[in-house]
A and B are shown apart, each in its own frame.
Chain A
Amino acid sequence: MKAISVQNLTKQFGEFTAVDHITFDVSQGEIFGFLGANGAGKTTAMRMLCGLSMPTSGKAIVVGYDLYKHAEEIKKSIGYMSQKFSLYEDLTIKENIRFYGGIYGLSNFEIKEKTERLASLLRIEDKLNTLVRSLPLGWRQKLSFSVAMIHDPKIVFLDEPTGGVDPITRREFWTMIFEAASRGTTVFVTTHYMDEAEYCNRVSIMVDGKIAALGAPEELKVKFSAKDMGEVFLQLARGAKRGDD
């Protein structure tokens, strides 16, 4: 079964077609990079796949559920993390874990167990009662990722998870992504760092609401005679007609 299967997915806001007949599949356990210039339609597409926004037309199956009929089931089965917001800053680390565990229906016992495992994994045993606000950004992002995975989702959506993060933490973060994928979790990720596009099994690049290119980084580099994904991206995004947002 595919983790995501999308056919001609379209979203219109009045006259404006934010997402224009996109078609793609994502396999279970794949790291799928979802790239595009600002305003290409990435966020709108991602919101639909997470069950937060209804498409205007087209088909989408996410972790086996039809987007039109079972949006609530989709929400329960996926993990989501964004750069802008993921954790409550005025709650402690422990309270955040408890809160998200509760939302996803984990039992008290499971939450306790997860808290301990997470704390030792991230080496924050002595910080559990610290407010998230006072954590350095790098720690916060790694914690956000772990919290997004608290219910062992089949797929996790990461929206610019490494923006502004220091270069060592950025790589530690990607190591966490590699680990999750090697355990079979599907990772759907957006980024503005072109070196990170190279880490994906496959990458799609959106331009003006459409998917302009889709394939493994190696294939795309050959196809566009580019030395790296940065060049592939520049070639495609330069052709964009639409401004951002």
Chain B
Amino acid sequence: MKAVLVKDIQKTFKVEKSTVTALREISFEVEQGELFGLIGPDGAGKTTLFRILTTLMLADKGTAYVDGLDVVADYKAIRKRVGYMPGRFSLYQDLTVEENLQFFATLFNTSIEENYDLVKDIYVQIEKFKTRKAGALSGGMKQKLALSCALIHKPSVLFLDEPTTGVDAVSRKEFWELLHNLQQQKITILVSTPYMDEADLCDRVALIQDGRILDIETPKGITKKFEDTLWSVRATNMYQLLIDLRNQPEVKSCFPFGQAHHVTFINNNQLVDDIKGRLVLLGHTSIKFEKIEAGIEDCFMDLMSEAKR
């Protein structure tokens, strides 16, 4: 049995007088125990999809199953066994840390003691604040409490909607370590994120943009599919280099990528000496061309431009 099975799910919303399509007939499967990432920017449809799978919203078309249960017919059974951490903090701000956790345990007919093992690693980090009201916690603490509350009934499938958005690089790293520990407990985890670099931390990912799934694969599988030869190019004046590279007729794409620009050419076997020479004439110094492997973000951008064409 698949942990999640989605088939041709479509969802539209009415905004003013126009219709916005949030999900365009998307299909995918998630295996038991898998850490599955939905990677895409804001507005891609990630939250809508999670709401449909957690039975909080009805799709216009298509079918979806969680743990073999139909999201429409068996919604009550699904609600008992999934954990959901929404993107916006949605615990009770005027209850304390401990009261929140107790409340969620009680809702699911269990107790903190019964499933303490599952939340222990996370809860110990906030336990010293257990008498503090949730509203007075810092961002990172709130996030840990929300995760504890989503776990306290020992869900079989856990949905985490953008748990790392707006979180600094250190806390993001820690959060992913927590997720990998949870995976050891045989919980299926679906996590959404706008950070492309987090794709590498998932078993498989779906790249999602504008309500469409651009690709579903292992992170390695996605980057392997990148067909163009990718060059990393540097020079002393990076902004001028960006402008000048984009003006070369042989250049197919050129994007800033941190310390270097990533460049592809119309002709995959392009010799770069010519271009280097022209850049020298344009006044560039310390020019460096280097062939590199594509990352998830390169692939995402490539698939995005393809989808537009």
A-to-B contact residues, CB < 8 Å: 36-39, 83, 131, 133-134, 136-138, 160, 163-169, 171, 174-175, 178, 181-182, 192-196, 198-199, 217, 228-230, 233-234, 237-238, 240, 243-245
Q: Which B residues, 1 to 59, have Cβ-Cβ distances below 8 Å to chain A? A: 15-16, 18, 20, 40-44
B300, A164: Cβ atoms closer than 8 Å: no
Instruction: Kindly list chain B residues whose C-beta atoms are within 8 Å of the C-beta of A38.
Output: 138-140, 166-168, 171
- Asked whether B141 lies within 8 Å of A167 as measured between CB atoms, the reply is no
B220 to chain A, nearest CB (A): 19
Minimum Cβ distance to chain B for residue A168 (Å): 5
Cβ contact of A168, chosen from B20, B43, B258, B301, cutoff 8 A: B301
Give the number of A-B contacts (CB < 8 Å).
107
B92 sits at the interface (CB 8 A) = no
Assess A37 versus B170: contact at CB under 8 Å? Given A167-B196, A195-B258, A228-B259.
yes
Q: Is A178 touching B168 in the complex (CB atoms < 8 A)?
A: no
CB distance from B243 to the nearest CB of A (A): 9
Asked if A171 meets B256 with Cβ closer than 8 Å, knowing A134-B15, A240-B170, A244-B171, the reply is: yes
Chain A residues whose C-beta falls within 8 Å of the C-beta of B194 in the assembled complex:
163-165
Cα separation A138 to B139 with both chains bound (whole Å): 25
Docked complex: B175-198 residues within 8 A CB-CB of A: 194-196
Q: 8 Å CB contacts to A: which residues of B156-214?
A: 162, 165-173, 194-196, 209
Q: Which 5 residue pairs are nearest across A and B when measured between Cβ atoms?
A: A195-B258, A166-B41, A245-B138, A164-B42, A198-B258
Bound together, the chains give a CA A19 to CA B93 distance in angstroms of 27
Question: Which residues of the partner chain A approach B162 to less than 8 Å between Cβ atoms?
Answer: 164
Q: Decide if B109 is an interface residue (CB 8 Å cutoff).
A: no
- B167's nearest neighbour on chain A, judged by CB, is A38
**Residue pair B139, A39 in contact (C-beta under 8 Å):** yes
List residues of B (239-259) whose CB comes within 8 Å of A's CBs: 239, 242, 255-259
- Tell me which residues across on chain A come within 8 A of B166, comparing CB atoms: 38, 83, 160, 163, 192
A-binding residues in B (CB < 8 A): 15-16, 18, 20, 40-44, 138-141, 162, 165-173, 194-196, 209, 238-239, 242, 255-259, 297, 300-301, 304-305
* Contact status A234-B173, CB under 8 Å: yes
Q: Is the CB of A217 within 8 A of B259?
A: yes
> Cβ of A133: which chain B residues have Cβ within 8 Å of it?
15
Q: Chain B interface mostly helix, strand, loop or mixed? A: mixed
Rounded to whole Å, the gap between the CB of A207 and the closest CB of chain B is: 10
Report chain A residues within 8 Å CB of B196: 167
Complex CA gap A150/B173 in Å reads 38
* Contact A137 to B239, CB < 8 A, known contacts A39-B139, A240-B170: no
26 residue pairs bridging A and B, Cβ less than 8 Å apart = A37-B168, A37-B169, A38-B138, A38-B139, A38-B140, A38-B167, A38-B168, A133-B15, A134-B18, A136-B43, A160-B166, A164-B162, A166-B209, A167-B304, A171-B255, A175-B242, A175-B256, A181-B239, A192-B168, A192-B169, A198-B258, A199-B238, A199-B256, A243-B141, A244-B171, A245-B140
> Known contacts being A133-B15, A134-B18, A237-B168, is A168 close to B304, with CB within 8 Å?
yes
**Chain B residues positioned under 8 Å from A37 (CB to CB):** 168-171
Q: Which residues of B contact A137 (CB under 8 A)?
A: 41-43
Nearest A residue to B253 by beta-carbon distance? A168
**Chain A contacts of B195 at CB under 8 A?**
193
Task: Find chain A residues with CB under 8 A from B297 CB.
Answer: 167
Find out whether the CB atom of A134 lies under 8 angstroms from the CB atom of B300: no
A209 CB → nearest B CB, Å: 14
From residue A126, how far is it (CB to closest CB) to chain B in Å? 14
Q: Which residues of A sit under 8 angstroms from B139, Cβ to Cβ?
A: 38-39, 244-245
**A233 CA / B42 CA spacing, docked (Å):** 25
- Measured between beta carbons, the chain A residues less than 8 angstroms from B238 are 199
Chain B min CB distance to A158 (Å): 15
A194→B258 contact, CB < 8 A: yes
For B140, give its contact among A169, A181, A234, A243 (CB under 8 Å): A243
Q: Is the CB of B239 within 8 A of A178?
A: yes
Task: Tell which of B16, B166, B168, B297 has the most Cβ of chain A within 10 Å.
Answer: B168
Nearest-CB residue, chain B, relative to A227: B259
In the complex, chain A residues whose CB is within 8 Å of the CB of B259:
198, 217, 228
Least Cβ–Cβ distance between A237 and chain B, in angstroms: 4
**Can you name the residue of chain B whose Cβ is closest to the Cβ of A83?**
B166
